[in-house]
Amino acid sequence: MIAINWILALPNQCQQIMSVNEKIVTDLVNNNVSFITTVPCKQLAGVIDGIDKCDDIFHIPSNKEDEGMGLCAGAYMGGKRAAIIMQNTAIGVTINTLATLIQYYHIPLPMLISYRGEIGEPVACQVEMAVHTKALLAQLNIPTYHFHHPDDVEEFDAILKYCFMSKKPVAILTDASFWKGA
């Protein structure tokens, strides 16, 4: 489980014990991501909490993920780096927005996605979208990374840099095994 008071710790004091949630929030801040919209998922509760408490990030919860991508597109055009945090079921909601807004206008958008329906999943229905998730992202030519081990978070910083360099949506799928390290 995540420590809820981690944000109080000084960054240089928590490097060695930095949890997955801490590392994600720290990397977002270090890459100047200052506008984040979220639609909750149980697996993402800790990182959403960290973002909400972070003074360097404006957190704006959205009611649906396509709405959230609209907010991010606007914030980007306003000069902020934006990101979305959502569940993989949202891929089904956002395909049109990804194709006709984010990709069509060349807007960079890191998408931190909880990958429900993978090994360790207790809810059978989640598997039904899990089996389509990578295929849909591949069909959209969206660069996709799958975090399975907690150590995979080490690549998050480079993925953010790649996303803003390429001005593309980039998906980071984070499964239940990964979040065991949170």
Partner 1 sequence: MIRSEVLKSLIPVISDQLVVCNIGLPSQELHLLDDQPSNFYMLGTMGLASSIGLGLALAQKQKVIAIDGDGSVLTNFGTLPTIANNVADNFILLIIDNGSYGSTGDQPTYAGRKTSLAAVASACGCEHVVECQAEQAAAAVQAALDADEMTIIVCKCESGNIKVPVIEMDPVVIRDRFMKQVQARNS
Residues in contact with partner 1 by CB under 8 A are 35, 58, 60-64, 66-80, 82, 96-97, 99-101, 104-107
> Which residue, 102 or 112, is less far from partner 1 as judged by CB?
102
> Which residue, 2 or 60, is less far from partner 1 as judged by CB?
60
> Which residue, 58 or 164, is less far from partner 1 as judged by CB?
58
> Which residue, 103 or 177, is less far from partner 1 as judged by CB?
103
CA quadruple 101, 97, 72, 103: dihedral sign: negative
- As measured in angstroms, the least distance from the Cβ of 24 to partner 1 is 22
Contacts of 18 (CB under 8 A, 6+ apart): 26
- As measured in angstroms, the least distance from the Cβ of 151 to partner 1 is 34
> Which residue, 91 or 173, is less far from partner 1 as judged by CB?
91
- HSE of 94, CA atoms in CB hemisphere, 13 A: 30
Contacts of 124 (CB under 8 A, 6+ apart): none
- CB contact at 8 A, 62 and 49: no
| 58 burial via Cβ count (<10 Å: 0-12, 13-18, 19+) | middle
- CB contact at 8 A, 88 and 127: no
- As measured in angstroms, the least distance from the Cβ of 84 to partner 1 is 11
Q: Give the distance from CA 108 to its chain's centroid.
A: 13
- As measured in angstroms, the least distance from the Cβ of 64 to partner 1 is 5
- As measured in angstroms, the least distance from the Cβ of 67 to partner 1 is 5
Radius of gyration of the chain (CA): 15
